[in-house]
Amino acid sequence: MNDKPLLSVRDLRVSFKTDKTHYIEAVKGVSFDVPRNATVALVGESGSGKSVSSLATMGLLPGETSRIDANSRIEFEGRNLLDLTPAERRALCGKEISMIFQEPMTSLNPVFTVGYQLSEVLMLHMGLGKRQARARALELLKEVGIPDPERKIDAYPSQMSGGQQQRVMIAMAIACEPKLLIADEPTTALDVTIQKQIIDLIAALQKKHNMSVLFITHDLALVGEIADHVIVMRNGEVRETGTVEQIFDNPQDAYTKALLRCRPSLDSRPMRLPVIDDYMNGHHEPDIIHQQRSRGYTGNEDIVLEVRNLGKSFYTREGLFGKKEFKAVNDVSFKLARGKTLGVVGESGSGKTTVGLTLLRLHQATAGQALFEGKDILAMSNSEFLAYKRRIQIIFQNPYASLNPRFTIGQILVEPMRIHNIGANDDERAAMAHQLLKRVGLPPVAFYRYPHEFSGGQRQRIAIARCLTLKPEVLVCDESVSALDVSVQAQVLNLLQELQEEYGMSYIFISHDLAVVKYIADQVMVMNKGEVVEMANSDELYHDPKHPYTKTLLGAIPKGLVHHSH
């Protein structure tokens, strides 16, 4: 029995070039082991160095802009990978070590069928002939649970859903039966139900093939479902390592404790979510996170927006004259009360985003009414709607795409006020913009900077500030915290909460993350295939779900630590 770890990383230091002469150290002397036949989770937020460590292991760091310290060692089965020639490294990394990435679409080639891409890997690394490779590719597609593999083998990546593409990536990664599989955030972009399937799949494959898995993620809750050992990183350093049980039951490092507590839990709803700073530098838990917030509709609320029988169909052409109708949203009705939050949950394709876009007239509704103070905003002319446009705003999932890169943050905030005649002059508007930046927790100098100078979480706060310039009464949040790290997500949720209390705003909060929805919503509407399958106050829905689909969604939430039966 070989007791030496399969992979052993020692004093890994990686620097990146910032200009001709300067380097900045991203990974600062990191050491960890991946034992044989085990799953190790590398956990940390954006910028912690977790992905850089894995890319260094795979030999995928850009040679001209990055540098690995001469004393660093990455040993795989006793050989230091950093001493190998590029050709030796490639042979090893295709066969013995393989990797799956967060974005399957960027790793799969769109112009070749899935079967061709799988066969290519098998012919290259395993020396199989064409016919053998195709037969093996089919077996692999079955093994990773692709439905109807005989047909899907000749499909192109674009003809598959995100979850199926991720399965194909996994099939390619395990094609050569590697000893080590590195999974870099493989489920971040997926729905909870599909995320659960992918996690279960990786766990099953790990056992079946006796592989080791290095699982990289920013979500500690996921880790409890898959890992044996955990390594927590922050700012390029390892903060804590231990078995899953140790990390969950008795975390030692303040940062680990903070990460565990930032994520909204299903059992409590504090007045404010804890954030990292509450725990660092010897702070003790503030009282406000122990007081509970009550949620729900009583029935006497002042209704701001009433949606009746909303429908939105898309049409595709079939044949010469025919067209085929696809009902993205069908017969959706709800009431939104002033100062309250309606959560809308469902998987991709459930129609939840289409509801939001239709209410903002970014899609043309095909049926129904949306009454804003009794007036149907869907039936208005564009000029009539202009007066309402200001009062109902949307924040999208991707703050990268929704901010103009050529404008400073100041311009981004002042422009909408100018268009809607808010403030007497530009000085007054600039003063309001400064006030808003302060509200969303950004420094005054942010006013003069450009979007690319900010992190994803900061950009999301800028997007929120921009919405607030118009003092809207209804804010649609479309997956607006799903791309954020847990700690940043907690800050943004706290901010939305404070703004609601201060301005009495109403939110339509669209998300596939049920823990977040339970925390923020008064009432929850569950959508599946364009229809509403269940609607209830948030606590009722979670304690006593009525519809089987709601139960499936709730069952897929990562529970944190699932006690392992080894």
C-alpha distances out from residue 114 to 154, 159, 172, 183, 184, Å: 6, 10, 9, 20, 21
User: Percentages helix, strand, coil for the chain, rounded to the nearest 5?
Assistant: 40, 25, 35
**Please, what is the angle between helix 130-143 and helix 162-174, to 10°?**
130
Distance, CA of 487 to CA of 259 (rounded, Å): 7
- Look over the chain and give the mean of its residue pLDDT values, rounded to a whole number: 90
In a domain, 468, yes or no: yes
Among 400, 511, 413, which residue's Cα sits nearest to residue 464? 413
pTM: 0.85
**pLDDT for the residue numbered 94:** 77
Residue in the block written with tokens 């399937």: 197
The residue length of the chain stands at 566
Report if residue 165 sits inside a domain. Answer: no
| List of residues 6+ apart from 213 with CB closer than 8 A | 38, 39, 40, 180, 181, 182, 183, 202, 206, 226
Identify the pLDDT of residue 563. Answer: 45
Contacts of 151 (CB under 8 A, 6+ apart): none
**Could you tell me the CA-to-CA distances from 161 to 93, 166, 168, 189, 354 in Å, in that order?**
28, 9, 11, 12, 18
By residue range, what is the domain housing residue 395?
Answer: 340-348+378-555
Q: Which amino acid is at 419?
A: I
pLDDT at 187: 84
Higher pLDDT, 162 or 135: 135
Residue 491 falls inside a structural domain: yes
- What percentage of the chain reaches a pLDDT higher than 70? 97
Does residue 531 lie within any of the structural domains? Answer: yes
Is 70 exceeded by the pLDDT of residue 565?
no
Average of per-residue pLDDT across 166-174? 92
Across 449-476, average pLDDT: 88
What is the mean predicted confidence (pLDDT) over 189-203?
87
Position 561 confidence tier, pLDDT thresholds 50, 70, 90: low
How does residue 505 score in pLDDT terms, banded at 50, 70 and 90? Answer: very high
pLDDT of residue 31: 96
Tally of domains in the chain: 1
Place 566 in a pLDDT band, splitting at 50, 70 and 90. Answer: very low
Tell me the per-residue pLDDT of 222-276, one tens digit each, with 9 for 90 and over.
Answer: 888 899 999 999 999 999 999 999 999 999 999 998 888 888 888 888 888 888 8
Residue 466 maps to which CATH number?
Answer: 3.40.50.300
In a domain? residue 320: no
pLDDT of the residue at 63: 81
For residues 161 and 520, the model is more confident at: 520
Q: Is the pLDDT of residue 401 over 80?
A: no
Q: Is residue 32 part of a domain?
A: no
Q: Higher model confidence: residue 455 or residue 328?
A: 328
Mapped to the 3 state alphabet, what secondary structure does 185-209 carry? CCCCCCCHHHHHHHHHHHHHHHHHH
Query: Is the pLDDT assigned to residue 431 strictly greater than 90?
Result: yes
As beta bridge partners, residue 39 has 213
* Mean pLDDT across 552-565: 71
315-348: per-residue pLDDT in tens? Answer: 887 777 778 888 999 999 999 999 999 999 998 8
Q: What is the pLDDT of residues 39-88, one digit of tens each?
A: 999 999 888 899 899 999 998 888 888 999 999 999 999 999 999 998 89
Domain annotation covers residue 180? no
Instruction: Dig out the tokens for 263 from the structure.
Output: 């994520």
Portion of the chain with pLDDT greater than 90, in percent: 59
**408 domain residue, yes or no:** yes
Pairing mode, strands 180-184 and 79-80: unpaired
- pLDDT for position 564: 42
Average pLDDT score over residue span 93-98: 88
